[in-house]
Amino acid sequence: MIHPQAIVDPSARIADDASIGPFCVIGADVEIGSGTRVASHVVINGPTKIGCDNEIFQFASIGEKPQDLKFHDEPTELIVGDRNRIREYVTLHRGTPGGGNVTRVGNDNLLMANVHVAHDCILGDHIILANATALAGHVVVEDHVILGGYTTVHQFTRIGAHAFTGFSTAIDRDVLPFFTVAGNRARAIGINKEGLKRRNFSPETIRALQDAFKLLIKSTCSHKVALEKVGELAKKDENVRKMLDFLDASERGWIR
């Protein structure tokens, strides 16, 4: 399953049923799991672990050194889970000692063409990063997030589960779970209602999240009073509680 015109380091560990296309370069300390398909002209450097049933398209660069001037060839790594689709010209960089030594991509994600995931980013599952989305270092993206094309994300920013961004959004602070944000700089414009419907959230939960959004973003009462009212909603709905817990843990501040 390895094309004769591919260059594979002897230390690379490639599953018998994985496939490596022509003109690929697979470096030392690379592990590729069962069923993963690597097209032509892909470069994968290690230490990198890639799980099962991934599809990596031509011209992607996986596991390269981070673009961090403080990095001095320490033995950091990239870990990619299962069933991800990594499209053309995607770049995934390894971690740094200052960020836990690892960049991690979960399962069942779609990274469209020209996406960049920088050092020490942590991506969950079922995420879509549309074309030319760029994540700076140390970004956390939780499950079921969709980032619209040309979204840019500042380092050390967190994006909560089920959030959605519009085209060409610039994110410089945390995005609360279930929020839709858009613009440069980003502002909160509503709840990701359509996405929640598609994922079978109940009408009651969607209404509770909408009420929480209105209190946090549109209410004329003080922020303290708004948080108290959202806290009352959180007693009745666990998803509102998740939103509130995420807000409480924010260090960079969150998009209003």
- Percent of the chain residues past pLDDT 70, beyond the cut: 100
Backbone angles phi, psi at 211, to 5 degrees: -65, -40
Neighbours of 102 (CB within 10 A): 18
CA distances from 187 to 107, 118, 140, 165 (A): 29, 24, 19, 10
Average pLDDT over residues 2-28: 97
Assign a CATH topology to domain 7-141: UDP N-Acetylglucosamine Acyltransferase; domain 1 (2.160.10)
Q: Where in the chain is the domain with CATH 1.20.1180.10?
A: 196-248
Q: Where in the chain is the domain with CATH 2.160.10.10?
A: 7-141
Sign of the torsion angle spanned by Cα atoms 186, 192, 137, 135 = negative
82: Cβ contacts below 8 Å, ≥ 6 apart: 33, 51, 52, 53, 54, 107, 108
**CA distance linking residue 179 with residue 159, whole number of Å:** 9
> Hey, what are 111's tokens?
């990274």
Could you tell me where the DSSP H helices lie in 88-190?
Answer: none
Active site residues: 119-120, 137
> Hey, what are 132's tokens?
């030319």
Neighbours of 130 (CB within 10 A): 19
The DSSP H or E segment spanning 231 is helix 223-234
Taking 90 as the threshold, does the pLDDT of residue 20 lie above it?
yes
Q: What is the pLDDT at residue 29? A: 97
Whole-angstrom distance between the N-terminal and C-terminal Cα of the chain? 51
Q: Which pLDDT tens digit goes with each residue over 37-84?
A: 999 999 999 999 999 999 999 999 999 999 999 999 999 999 999 999
Q: What is the pLDDT at residue 80? A: 98
Q: What is the pLDDT at residue 187? A: 97
Q: Which pLDDT tens digit goes with each residue over 107-161?
A: 999 999 999 999 999 999 999 999 999 999 999 999 999 999 999 999 999 999 9
Whether the Cβ atoms of residue 40 and residue 7 lie closer than 8 Å to each other:
no
Taking 90 as the threshold, does the pLDDT of residue 219 lie above it?
no
Average pLDDT over residues 242-256: 95
* Res. 220 pLDDT band, cuts 50 70 90: confident
Annotate 10-27 with three-state secondary structure: CCCEECCCCEECCCCEEC
Q: Which CATH number fits domain 196-248: 3.10.110.10, 1.20.1180.10, 1.10.600.10, 1.10.10.10?
A: 1.20.1180.10
